[in-house]
Copies of this chain bind each other. A is one copy, B any other.
């Protein structure tokens, strides 16, 4: 599919080349919070991603080793998506986005509760969650 055109050597630019759009980080969010998702799970998210866009994003994320496909234990018709280590390592980025948004928007209570945990011990939270996601 799309050949990745690198706009510059800047780390921010390189990152955005992969996941700099309105949907990719939402996919990663779902995987961080749910650990594993099927194609259908992503479609259920509140934002309502279109099926073709989802397929395109999943492909780019897979090509860039952010996510990987796994066989679903229950059925051959299902596919499990999960984060690679490279994808899991986006957790600190995801956390800071949440903390920023919490300061400037009103956000759901359950997310607020989670962020309370984060604020108590950020490094510990990241370590524990990373370990959980890797297993």
Chain A residues engaging chain B, CB cutoff 8 angstroms:
7-17, 20-22, 25-26, 29, 45-48, 86, 89-90, 92-108, 111
Contact = CB atoms under 8 A, between A and B. Distances in A.
Contact of A10 (B13, B16, B17, B46): B46
B8 A47 contact: yes
A20 B11 contact: no
A97 B108 contact: no
**Can you list the 10 inter-chain pairs with the closest CB atoms, starting with the nearest?**
A11-B101, A8-B46, A7-B47, A92-B96, A20-B22, A93-B96, A11-B107, A14-B105, A15-B101, A11-B98
Given A21-B22, A96-B92, A48 B9 contact: no
Chain A interface, >50% SS class: helix
A6 to B, nearest CB: 9
A21 to B, nearest CB: 6
A36 B104 CA distance: 23
A107 B111 CA distance: 34
A69 B132 CA distance: 45
